């Protein structure tokens, strides 16, 4: 595939663009070879602007150049050819603003800029948009965190994602940058590579804060570990940020991406709080059956068919979006429904008027058993009937032997050459464990669609002052395949708030509300709906040591077992709240 056309394009490399504090950021410009002032598509990234892969990552740079756009690619502060010190997320708002001002001042620019890119590239778009640069007309963030305070999910550290990122995109990139400067050696590079090729050992290492290889090359990792209270503070200050954004937003995500709930939140908040009528009216949401990075639509264990192909959807979608907002072409973009979702099971796209869908009916599915819901072969079942007198289910959570992560909305890699552990994987091996409770519906007599956010209400007790509870929604096929759809976790000490943790009293019953994310899935006739409940999902989340102490500082010697109970009786009706679409 030709990334940058050989003919008709002017290329300017390593232009050192000054920021307001004097730090210069290395910038590459690709633009049509003519005298016309053109609109610009900008992406800012910490992954090396010289790697042209990021210009074809769910984007068509050749199309843009051949259709009258300039493309600007910039190394963020402290990365690769740029000056300064890299501190993830810290300078992206002002650096983005200054970069847009520079673009607008160039003779080849017509003063209209759109931004594109995924993951960290998407984060830079949101942070720039908050600053309201005059030249910015629209952003198209994919798989986008709003900012980098998303290190914890409901109190549990996203270990698999952020430890891997700290080694791969933090430390490795930093030593490679230092190498030609004489500030690092090949031995430093090899040390990081050895860690990346033994990530399971890194995940298992305790204390979590004891990562010598990251101390100098990715010092922010230590801040991430202690950021759960910062995340709580940030949640209270985010609304104003959305109110500051005044441009249309094309929000793109995937059901198996770790940031997909952020993408949904961006859309909802822009619809409600966007800083202009245009921003509120022209917020779009696209969610496909995709994971992170390269949006694979076909996973080793599950194919969603040709309609799921990112190549059949995203480039053309972005092209129409930018053609309208940067060139003023009337192509119907403003008249389209704001939400497009891929309904798994039906394996088809559907356009909707809002998210959640306006006709969603939230149905409680109650947990039942005779006290032996352990494993898929146990007696746990789901029913629309509320429980009466039933014994609780009990299991032992041992942090020395946590439930392994098998797929889902994750970004986990054990070596640099191993496949990513993500997507709709089979949970049958997980469901053989005694510390996994399984509650399964009867075989469905007709298809059931579940589309929207999910909540799990559990009544629990524990022998520990603090422990975790996890929930997982699974589509069980007639042949027994148990396909993960979405999951969630709650660290019990944060059951009231992230800002004010409260330990439990052993043996006391508490009501917990677990956010299980969202999904869109058609459970077909003959399939079953299953809920898994446990206390670990490792290394997606760090292990709770069950002590009530500072988990990231505790070692293996601190680990204690927890005996955890799940109650489902007439006074403690644990249930899964499913968002059901019941259209005729």
What does the H/E/C string look like for 93-138?
HHHHHHHHHHHHCCCCEEEEEEEEEECHHHHHHHHHHHCCCCCEEE
Rounded to an integer, the average pLDDT of 72-92 is 96
- Across the range 119-146, mean pLDDT stands at 94
- Per the DSSP assignment, residues forming a β-bridge with 393 are 566
DSSP class of residue 404 equals: B
pLDDT band for position 235 (cuts 50, 70, 90): very low
| Domain 360-581 classification at class level | mainly beta
Contact criterion met (CB below 8 Å) for 581 and 451: yes
pLDDT in tens, 319-373: 999 999 999 999 999 999 999 999 999 999 999 999 999 999 999 999 999 999 9
Rounded to a whole number, what is the largest CA-CA distance in the chain? 80
- What pLDDT score was predicted for residue 233? 47
pLDDT digits (tens, 9 = 90+) for 460-498: 999 999 999 999 999 999 999 999 999 999 999 999 999
344 and 485 Cβ atoms separated by less than 8 Å: yes
Cα atoms found within 13 Å of the Cα of residue 564, Cβ hemisphere only = 33
| Residue 182 pLDDT exceeds 90 | yes
| Backbone φ and ψ of 192, nearest 5° | -65, -40
Q: How many residues does the chain have?
A: 584
Q: At what angle do helices 260-273 and 228-243 cross, to 10 degrees?
A: 40
**Residue 383, Cβ density class (10 Å: 0-12 exposed, 13-18 middle, ≥19 buried):** middle
Fold of the CATH domain 1-138? Rossmann fold (3.40.50)
The three-state secondary structure class of 60 is: coil
Going by C-alpha positions, the residue among 251, 272, 274, 271 that lies closest to residue 263 is 251
Which one, of 347, 520, 360, 518, lies nearest residue 450 by Cα?
Answer: 520
Q: Where are the domains of the chain?
A: 1-138, 152-235, 241-357, 360-581
Single out the residue of 161, 159, 126 nearest to residue 141, CA to CA. 126
Chain mean pLDDT for the chain: 94
Fold of the CATH domain 152-235:
alpha-amino acid ester hydrolase ( Helical cap domain) (1.10.3020)
Tell me the pLDDT band of 294, cut-offs 50, 70 and 90: low
For residue 148, the model assigns a pLDDT of 63
Q: What is the DSSP letter of 391?
A: P
Distance CA 406, CA 472 (A): 11
The answer to whether residue 430 scores a pLDDT higher than 80 is yes
Token duo for residue 160 = 């698999």
Taking 50 as the threshold, does the pLDDT of residue 500 lie above it? yes
Task: Give the span between the Cα atoms of 480 and 138, in whole angstroms.
Answer: 46
Q: Collapsing DSSP states into helix, strand and coil, what is residue 562?
A: strand
Q: Return the sign of the alpha-carbon dihedral for residues 517, 522, 525, 526.
A: negative
Phi, psi (degrees; rounded to nearest 5) at 491: -80, 120
CB 484 within 8 A of CB 427: yes
Do residues 250 and 284 touch, judged by C-beta distance below 8 A? yes
Mean pLDDT score, 195-218: 96
Mean pLDDT of the 291-318 span: 83
Share of the chain above pLDDT 70, in %: 96
Q: Which pLDDT score, from 0 to 100, does residue 59 have?
A: 86
Q: Do domains 1-138 and 152-235 have the same CATH topology?
A: no
Per-residue pLDDT at 229 exceeds 80: no
* Model pTM score: 0.96
Judge: domain 241-357, CATH 3.40.50.10490: no
Write out pLDDT tens, residues 143-156. 988 666 679 999 99
Rounded-to-integer distance, Cα 119 and Cα 490, Å: 25
Strand partners, 14: none
413 band by pLDDT with thresholds 50, 70 and 90: confident
Flag whether pLDDT at 286 surpasses 60: yes
Task: Tell which residue, 237, 214, 203, 87, has the closest CA to residue 148.
Answer: 87
Calpha distance 283→334 (Å, rounded): 10
Q: How far apart are CA 325 and CA 121, in angstroms?
A: 20
Residues taking part in catalysis: 119, 257, 292
Would the pLDDT of 237 be above 50?
Answer: no
């Amino acid at each position: 595939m030709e990334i940058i056309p050989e003919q008709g394009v002017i290329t300017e490399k390593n232009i050192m663009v000054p920021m307001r504090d004097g730090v210069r950021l290395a910038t590459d410009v690709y633009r049509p070879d003519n005298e016309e002032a053109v609109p610009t598509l900008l992406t800012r990234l910490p992954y090396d602007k010289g790697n042209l892969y990021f210009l074809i990552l769910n984007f068509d740079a050749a199309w843009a150049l051949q259709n009258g756009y300039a493309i600007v690619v910039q190394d963020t502060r402290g990365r690769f050819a740029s000056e300064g010190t890299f501190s993830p997320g810290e300078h992206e708002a002002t650096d983005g603003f200054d970069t847009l001002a520079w673009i607008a001042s160039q003779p080849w620019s017509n003063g209209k800029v759109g931004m594109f890119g995924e993951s960290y590239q998407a984060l830079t778009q949101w942070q720039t948009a908050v600053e309201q640069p005059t030249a910015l007309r629209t952003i198209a963030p994919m798989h986008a965190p709003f900012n980098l305070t998303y290190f914890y999910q409901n109190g549990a550290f996203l270990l698999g994602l952020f430890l891997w990122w700290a080694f791969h995109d933090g430390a490795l990139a930093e030593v490679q940058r230092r190498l030609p400067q004489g500030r690092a050696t090949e031995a430093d590079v090899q040390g990081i590579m050895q860690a990346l090729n033994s990530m399971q050992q890194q995940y298992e290492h305790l204390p979590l804060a004891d990562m010598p290889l990251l101390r100098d090359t990715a010092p922010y990792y230590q801040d991430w570990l202690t950021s759960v209270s910062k995340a709580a503070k940030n949640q209270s200050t985010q609304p104003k940020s959305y109110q500051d954004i005044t441009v249309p937003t094309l929000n793109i995500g995937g059901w198996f991406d770790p940031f997909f709930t952020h993408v949904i939140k961006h859309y909802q908040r822009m619809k409600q709080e966007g800083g202009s009528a245009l921003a509120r009216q022209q917020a779009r949401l696209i969610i496909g059956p995709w994971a992170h990075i390269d949006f694979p639509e076909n996973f080793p264990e599950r194919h969603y068919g040709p309609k799921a192909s990112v190549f059949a959807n995203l480039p053309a979608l972005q092209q129409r979006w930018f053609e309208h907002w940067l060139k003023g072409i009337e192509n119907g973009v403003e008249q389209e429904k704001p939400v497009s979702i891929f309904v798994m099971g039906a394996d088809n796209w559907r356009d909707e008027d809002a998210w959640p869908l306006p006709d969603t009916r939230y149905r409680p599915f109650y947990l039942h058993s005779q006290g032996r819901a352990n494993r898929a072969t146990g007696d746990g079942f789901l029913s629309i009937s509320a429980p009466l007198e039933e014994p609780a289910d009990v299991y032992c959570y041992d942090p020395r032997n946590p439930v392994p992560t098998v797929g889902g909305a994750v970004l986990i890699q054990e070596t640099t050459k191993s496949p990513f552990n993500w997507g709709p994987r089979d949970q049958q091996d997980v469901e053989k464990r005694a510390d996994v409770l399984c509650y399964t519906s009867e075989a469905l007599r007709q298809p059931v669609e579940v589309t929207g956010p999910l909540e799990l209400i559990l009544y629990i007790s524990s022998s520990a002052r603090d422990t975790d509870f996890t929930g997982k929604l699974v589509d069980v096929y007639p042949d027994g395949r148990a396909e993960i759809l979405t999951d969630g976790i709650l660290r019990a000490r944060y059951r009231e708030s992230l800002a004010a943790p409260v330990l439990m009293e052993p043996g006391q019953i508490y009501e917990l509300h677990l956010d299980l994310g969202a999904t869109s899935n058609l459970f077909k006739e003959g399939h079953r709906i299953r809920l898994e409940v446990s206390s670990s999902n490792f290394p997606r989340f760090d292990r709770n040591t069950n002590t009530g102490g500072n988990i990231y500082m505790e070692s293996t010697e601190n680990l204690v077992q927890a005996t955890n109970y799940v109650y489902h009786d007439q006074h403690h009706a644990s249930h899964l709240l499913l968002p059901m679409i019941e259209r005729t």
